[in-house]
Chain A
Amino acid sequence: NFNTVSSIKVGVCVCVCVCVCVTSSATRTPLNNVGVQRRSKSYRLSYRSCLGTAASRLGLTPALTARRLNTSRRALKPHGVAEKVDPEQLALLVKTEWQLSYVTPLHQFRHTQLKSYSRRLAAFIAAGKQQGLAVAVENPQTTFRVSFSLVEGMTESADDAETVLIQIHARPSFAGQDEPQRPAWSGWLTCVNGNPDYLRSLPKDFTCLPLFGSSGAEGLGALVKSWFQQSFDCCFGPLEVSHTSLQWLMALWTNCHTEASIQHLKMIWTLPAVPPLEVTYTVNPEDAWELWRSVRKQKENRGGGGEEEENCIDIEEVADFVQGLKSHFYRHFRLDLSAGSLNQVSTALGSAKHSGRMKISNSRYMTTTLTLLTESALLKMPI
């Protein structure tokens, strides 16, 4: 009873707004195909403006940054990342576990001055060592060699800045020349498929590379971050992989099972019992694929259709998929995983932890994973 009463009221308001928008956008629609995308944008602008008066009355200002992740995204396709990116650099990026952070836009960062940045960072680290900042090395005589390199080909759209890879090698004074060197610390800054509206709205001198991954000695990582903060007036902050992002990764990775076997779908949940109960829930890849397929088929039956929609995955399908896994667990163990929290998801394609640690094991599906993470990093931007 109460539901219908409230829905009638809401329905009236929405109808009014929709009518206004449709008429105003119809006049702006050009006749060629390119206009299809523009029409949706003008619809959105007019939707905002017709509610703008209401918004200003309530005192809300539409922010430039989003408040939540996209509700639907394209399914993973095996991209030609392997062809576009230098395989040596690619090998450095996969199969390592990275700790993620978000970075605010960098002021006056030039991709052409990477060599000078390497020298300055090396000098900064040497100065830091002299001052006695904690840099864990066995031999206090080691000097550090820093290299900034450009990883071309990881980005797709023209608005994204190119990825920058930073490596710090420790060069002990007494080592031989032919020793294979693993970097003492390595990190990268990237922006993959960042929102073009936000990227274009930044002032001229700012470069947006919101996703930062680091692996190696903690002290070196802290030094690198403080150097960046001093040189480019930016801020670093921890990036957690949110509950929703973990669910998205589960669904996206399972979706690839036909092309590249995920080998297992492992989830780690923590339940708030006393003492806290940790549940490792491993699903056979074939069963996970069956469940995912049936969820997709349900969506098709319900109303989707057409070429575009086949590639799009909605958040409802992801939620149904996870709900299916949880109810299966409940049927066997009488434990409702909804009462706990999802901490880690891992498959053969990669793994992600809620604390912000991420590993990509297969370079073919790197782009969509990085797109998701770039979106979550952009969500954390302070403005």
Chain B
Amino acid sequence: MSLLKPFSKLPGLNSANILLVESKEEFQQSLADALVQETAFTVNVRLAKSLPLPMENEESRPRIDLVAFIIDLTSELSFQSTEASLKCLDPGYFLGKVCFMVTNARNAAAPIERLDAVRKLAASLHCPLLFTEDQTPDGVTNATERLLTILKVAAGLVPMATALYLSNLTRSTVSPDIDQPSFD
């Protein structure tokens, strides 16, 4: 099984590469359009439905600095596909180069158990968990800004800050009673 490795290639000059993985392939398009608007450095956005990535592009693919998994809470398939994709990442990515984005968290059709499961997943992997809103342009802009902050650090463009250091500050935690309902 081909793992995606974080440090097997040389980085580009003043550029950052981000991979957006989403099973539904809706939000990643609008997010990508907003991400490339960044002018301070070159942002290359790669889109994928799931991992592992196809072998044909292996040579031409640049070094991926940040892998962002987009999970739609109203669809169980989205969560299951993300879990399966996580197995195709080299462990080196989990030192600050992975982040989870969750959409539709406020939707009544999203069961609470799924959100808890995503929280536990992000906490166990020490990755940040971002809640985003994908239907309005404001929501897309907000999500882009937050992603860019993490991407800049992950690509090494921020002096004195590494991805591992930032992940210690941004990683998701779960409250101690997440497994235990208050009711007996």
**Interface mask (A22-57 → B, CB under 8 Å = 1, otherwise 0):** 000000000000000000110010011001001100
- Is there a chain A Cβ closer than 8 Å to B113's Cβ? yes
Q: Report whether A338 and B76 are in contact in the complex, using a CB–CB cutoff of 8 Å.
A: yes
The residue that B176 contacts in the complex, of A51, A67, A70, with Cβ under 8 A, is A51
Say yes or no: B176 contacts A69, CB within 8 Å.
no
Least distance between A2 CB and chain B CB atoms (Å): 4
**Is B126 close to A, CB under 8 A?**
yes
Query: What chain A residues lie within 8 Å of B94 (beta carbons)?
Result: 2
Q: Which of B112, B124, B177 contacts A48 (CB 8 A)?
A: B177
Which residue in chain A gives the minimum CB-CB distance to B116? Answer: A68
* Inter-chain contact B181/A54, CB cutoff 8 Å: no
Q: Are A62 and B181 in contact (CB under 8 A)?
A: no
Nearest-Cβ distance from residue B3 to partner chain A, whole angstroms: 11
Return chain A residues, CB-CB under 8 Å to B55: none
Q: Interface code A60-79, partner B: CB below 8 Å = 1, 0 otherwise?
A: 10111111111100000000
Fill in one digit per residue for A331-364: 1 if any B CB lies within 8 Å of its CB, else 0.
0000010111100000000000010000000000
Distance (Å) between the CB of A65 and the closest chain B CB?
Answer: 7
Q: For B85, what are the chain A residues with a Cβ–Cβ distance below 8 Å?
A: none
CB–CB B91/A70 < 8 A = no
* Interface residues of B, dominant DSSP: loop
Interface size class of B (residues with CB under 8 A): 20 to 34
Q: How far does the Cβ of A371 sit from chain B's closest Cβ, in whole Å?
A: 12
CB nearest to B94 among chain A residues: A2
B residues near A195, Cβ cutoff 8 Å: 183-184
Q: Does B157 contact A (CB under 8 A)?
A: no
Contact of A2 among B78, B112, B125 (CB under 8 A): B125
The segment from A83-91, A138-146, A164-172, A237-245 that touches chain B is: A237-245
Q: For the complex, give the distance between the alpha carbons of A170 and B157 in Å.
A: 75
- Distance from B56 Cβ to chain A, minimum over Cβ atoms (Å): 25
Chain B residues with Cβ below 8 Å from A54 are: 176
Say if the beta carbon of B74 comes within 8 Å of chain A: yes
- A contact residues around B175 at 8 Å (CB): 55, 58, 60
Question: Chain B nearest CB: distance from A308 CB in Å?
Answer: 14
B183 contacts A70, C-beta separation under 8 Å:
yes
Q: Per-residue CB proximity of B57-68 to A under 8 Å, as 1/0? A: 000000000000
Of the candidates B76, B80, B112, B124, the one whose C-beta lies within 8 Å of that of A67 is B112
B111 x A242 contact (CB < 8 A): yes
Q: Which of chain B's residues has its CB closest to A48's CB?
A: B177
Is the Cβ of A66 less than 8 Å from the Cβ of B75? no
Complex alpha-carbon distance, A60 and B174, angstroms: 11
B183 and A66 form a contact (CB under 8 A)? yes
Which of the residues A71, A244, A336, A338 comes within 8 Å of B111, measured between beta carbons? A244
- Residue B39 is within 8 A (CB to CB) of chain A in the complex: no
Complex Cα–Cα for A69 and B113 (A): 9
Shortest Cβ distance from residue A203 to the other chain B in the assembled complex, whole angstroms: 19
Measured between C-beta atoms, what is the minimum distance from A373 to chain B in Å?
Answer: 14
* Highest count of chain A CB atoms <10 Å: which of B77, B175, B176: B176
What's the minimum C-beta distance from A99 to chain B, rounded to whole angstroms?
Answer: 16
Min CB distance, A268 to chain B, in Å? 14
Query: Given the complex, which residues of A lie within 8 Å of B176, measured CB to CB?
Result: 51, 54-55
Q: Does B182 contact A (CB under 8 A)?
A: yes
B108 contacts the other chain (CB 8 A): yes
Residues of B within 8 A of A158 (CB): none
Collect the chain B residues with CB atoms within 8 Å of residue A3's CB: 124
Contacts of A65 in B (CB 8 A): 182
Chain B residues proximal to chain A, CB less than 8 Å: 74-78, 80, 91, 94, 108-109, 111-113, 116, 124-126, 173, 175-177, 180-184
New contact pairs (11) apart from A65-B182, A195-B184, CB-CB < 8 Å: A6-B125, A44-B184, A48-B177, A58-B175, A60-B175, A240-B108, A272-B75, A338-B75, A339-B75, A339-B78, A340-B75
21 contacts between A and B (CB under 8 A): A2-B94, A41-B184, A44-B184, A51-B177, A54-B176, A55-B175, A58-B173, A58-B175, A66-B182, A66-B183, A71-B181, A195-B183, A195-B184, A242-B112, A244-B111, A338-B75, A338-B77, A339-B75, A341-B74, A341-B109, A375-B183
